[in-house]
Amino acid sequence: MDREQVIKALKDSGKWGHKYSFWVVYFCTGCGIIEIPPVITSRWDAERFGIIPVATPRQANLFLITGYVSLKTLRPIIRTYEQMPEPKYTVGFGSCPINGGMYWDSYNTIKHLDKYIPIDGWIAGCMPRPEAIFIAITHLWTMIDKGMANAYKKYRKQYKYYRRNQEMALGELQWPPLYPIDEDE
């Protein structure tokens, strides 16, 4: 850590903490999860950037959705995202959550994940290499520095839109709304 970084860390310690200590929930929806074990073990060693996997959404601040999202897994994804404490960051991994990918014609996968939960960034590719995760992380650092990684604020602001989309995909939801919804808007 050089002198410039020390000053930066002292000036905004929260930002410094959020940047260099990502605790990740990996949502193992599809084939994308096969790229994660090399990332967190000896070959690519994500822990040198402070990235460690955690077991529960309460402790996490980064949510990585790896692979296609079927209607069945959309429900736990929304539940997991809503349980994470703020500030939280979300990254979609692979082309399936971006636009459906090779499951474009499928009857039971959703095509655009960012209609249902807000996404900070995407990693395109089928499959992306493990290096792409580190590129995404450095992009996320830049976004946190500039205050652009605020998708979780968007979720609070436009909750009505997201809730309506979730209800359209899943039917009646079994949980109460996370934020109050104004019907007048």
Partner 1 sequence: MVILLIVGSIAIGFMVGVLFLGLSRKVKARIHWRYGPPLYQPIIDIVKLFHQGSVSHGFIFDFGILLSLGGAIVSLLFIPIGNIIPLHGSGGLLVVLYLMLIAPFGIALSSVEAANPNASIGISRKFILTLGYEIPFLLIVLSVMTNYGTTSFVEIVALQRASHWGIISMPLSGIALLLILPAMMGIRPFDQVGAPQEISSGPKVEYGGIYLALSKIQHIYLIFIDIALFVALFMGGSSEPLTFFLKMLPIFLIVILVSTVYPRFRIEQAFSYCIKWPTIIAFLGLLVVIWR
Does residue 59 bind partner 1 (CB under 8 A)? yes
| Residue of 29, 61, 109, 166 interacting with partner 1 (CB under 8 A) | 61
Residues 6+ apart with CB under 8 A from 47: 40
Residues 83-122 close enough to bind partner 1 by CB under 8 A: 85-87
**Stretch touching partner 1 by CB under 8 A, among 65-73, 82-90, 121-129, 169-177:** 82-90
Give the count of residues interacting with partner 1 (CB under 8 A): 25
Query: What b/e string do you get for 7-29 counting C-beta neighbours within 10 Å, with b at 16 or more?
Result: eeeeeeeebbebbeebebbbbeb
| Residue of 5, 13, 108, 142 interacting with partner 1 (CB under 8 A) | 13
> Residue 85 CB, nearest distance to partner 1 (Å)?
4
**Packing angle between helix 159-170 and helix 71-83, nearest 10 degrees?**
150
Residues 150-179 close enough to bind partner 1 by CB under 8 A: none
Strands 23-27 and 62-66: parallel
> Residue 153 CB, nearest distance to partner 1 (Å)?
12
> What's 118-173 look like in SS3?
CCCEEECCCCCCHHHHHHHHHHHHHHHHHCCCCHHHHHHHCHHHHHHHHHHHHCCC
| Residue of 2, 4, 11, 55 interacting with partner 1 (CB under 8 A) | 55
Q: Which residues bind partner 1 (CB under 8 A)?
A: 1, 13-14, 16-18, 20-21, 41-42, 45, 47-50, 53-56, 58-59, 61, 85-87
